[in-house]
Amino acid sequence: MSYEKELAAAKKAVTIASRFCQKVQKVLLQSDVQSKSDKSPVTVADYGSQALVSYILEKELPSESFSLVAEEDSGDLRNDGSQEVLQRIRELMNDTLVSDGENKVLSAEDVLTAIDSGKSEGGPLGRHWVLDPIDGTKGFVRGDQYAIALALLDEGKVVLGVLGCPNLPLASIANTDQSSSQNQVGCLFYATIGSGTYMQSLDGSSHKKVHVSAIENPAEASFFESFEAAHTTFSLSGSIATKLGVKAPPVRIDSQAKYGALSRGDGAIYLRFPHKGYREKIWDHAAGCIVVTEAGAVVSDAAGKPLDFSKGKFLDLDTGIIVTNQKLMSLLLKAVQDSLREASSPPTGPSL
């Protein structure tokens, strides 16, 4: 099955959305950042990116029935107090569309309609686009890493992924300070099922096939995890790394840029252990998962089961997500299960 048309449309959509987000990050105002009902942040860029990706996909693939599962919805933008924010999104988006040669000026209603195309629930049948318009909004607001993550689900399987990482240097971030200024920044990773993973610069100048690290000795491995302590359990990943014999300190960056960095071998392991009660959403992992899998990695939950994207908006998984290459996975799984067992059994004090 070829997904050429869909890949071309997805790359165009993510590239335009990435350029839009780069522009907005430079001029982001405090008033551009809102807080959603779940207390998580959302910005004019999250909304604008979702509207742009939805608009471009529908324009580039007119014939197909369009189903999009996306993180944001227009609810908060439709209430009276949000007219100014909506206008700002519209102006910022139209600037981008004009500078990208798209001869279309969107109205406020067009913006709301485009955002709301993302209301699909996904599921095991048919085709669904899966979009996180800005993954790592906290990183985006902080001026650090974030990603535009777009995937295609076909009959419940992720078959295509495009990951725009506007702030990720083209050079490895293995252990250097990823904000080092001399590097060109802005990467686009893409993969289709069975065809490998490629990385290009956002401006399309450089382009190469990438592969995950082939490290077999954990002592040489480094691992990636969230920047945000609220999103993962640092003590658990630390214990796993120690059991594995990993010497390097963790590389902590926001968003699915971690999957992109792993796909090109910047690190060998990704550990994600959300705190109790958190349910992972498919848009936080679909694109990253195929990008790193097609580059040679294994992605599983803490029980070693592959992630299942066919169950709607949520990933129902065991405890956390672990990623590494084929050679290290059995060692990693054992370290994970030993650490989880230790964490769940209370420390045995001296017998009284």
Ligand X SMILES: Nc1ncnc2c1ncn2[C@@H]1O[C@H](COP(=O)(O)O)[C@@H](OP(=O)(O)O)[C@H]1O
Contact residues for ligand X (CB under 6 A)? Answer: 40, 71, 132, 134-137, 226, 228, 230-231, 254-255, 274-275, 278, 281, 284
Q: Report the SS3 class of residue 76.
A: helix
Q: Considering the complex, what minimum distance in angstroms separates the CB of residue 231 from ligand X?
A: 3
Which secondary-structure segment (H or E) carries 338? helix 329-344
135 is in an annotated binding site: yes
71 is in an annotated binding site: yes
Cα–Cα distance, 87 to 85 (Å, whole number) = 5
144 binds, among ligand X, Mg ion, none (CB under 5 to 8 A by kind): none
Q: Considering the complex, what minimum distance in angstroms separates the CB of residue 63 from Mg ion?
A: 29
Q: Considering the complex, what minimum distance in angstroms separates the CB of residue 47 from ligand X?
A: 12
At residue 100, what is the residue type?
D
Q: What are the helix and strand counts (H, E) for the chain?
A: 9, 14
- The CA–CA distances, whole Å, from 48 to 25, 110, 130, 322 equal 12, 11, 16, 31
* Binding test (CB under 5 A) with Mg ion, winner from 254, 284, 294, 301: 284
Residue 210 bridge partners (DSSP): 197
Nearest residue (CB) to Mg ion, 254 versus 294: 254
Which one of 137, 197, 232, 233 is the catalytic residue? 137
Nearest residue (CB) to ligand X, 284 versus 294: 284
If phi over 0 gives left and psi between -120 and 50 gives alpha, with beta otherwise, what is residue 120? beta
Which one of 32, 46, 144, 301 is the catalytic residue? 46
95 is in an annotated binding site: no
Cα–Cα distance, 92 to 46 (Å, whole number) = 12
At residue 339, what is the residue type?
S
Q: Considering the complex, what minimum distance in angstroms separates the CB of residue 50 from ligand X?
A: 11
Residues 156-215 that bind Mg ion (CB under 5 A): none
Does 266 participate in binding Mg ion (rule CB under 5 A)? no
| 80 is annotated as an active-site residue | no
Q: Which residues of 122-137 are buried (b: 16+ CB within 10 A; e: fewer)?
A: bbeeeebbbbbbbbbb
Contact 109, 87 (CB under 8 A): no
Q: Report the SS3 class of residue 62.
A: coil
Provide the CA 230 distance to its chain's centre, in angstroms: 17
Nearest residue (CB) to Mg ion, 132 versus 225: 132
| 46 is annotated as an active-site residue | yes
Question: Nearest 5°: CA angle at 175, between 258 and 287?
Answer: 10
Segment interacting with Mg ion, rule: CB under 5 A, options 77-85, 200-208, 209-217, 279-287: 279-287
Residues 51-90 that bind Mg ion (CB under 5 A): 71
Q: Considering the complex, what minimum distance in angstroms separates the CB of residue 207 from ligand X?
A: 26
Nearest residue (CB) to Mg ion, 31 versus 40: 40
Contact 50, 70 (CB under 8 A): yes
275 binds, among ligand X, Mg ion, none (CB under 5 to 8 A by kind): ligand X
Cα–Cα distance, 286 to 284 (Å, whole number) = 6
132 is in an annotated binding site: yes
Give me the residues that bind Mg ion (CB under 5 A), please: 40, 71, 132, 134-135, 284
Binding residues: 71, 132, 134-135, 284
Binding residues for Mg(2+): 71, 132, 134-135, 284
Query: Which residues are known to be catalytic?
Result: 46, 137
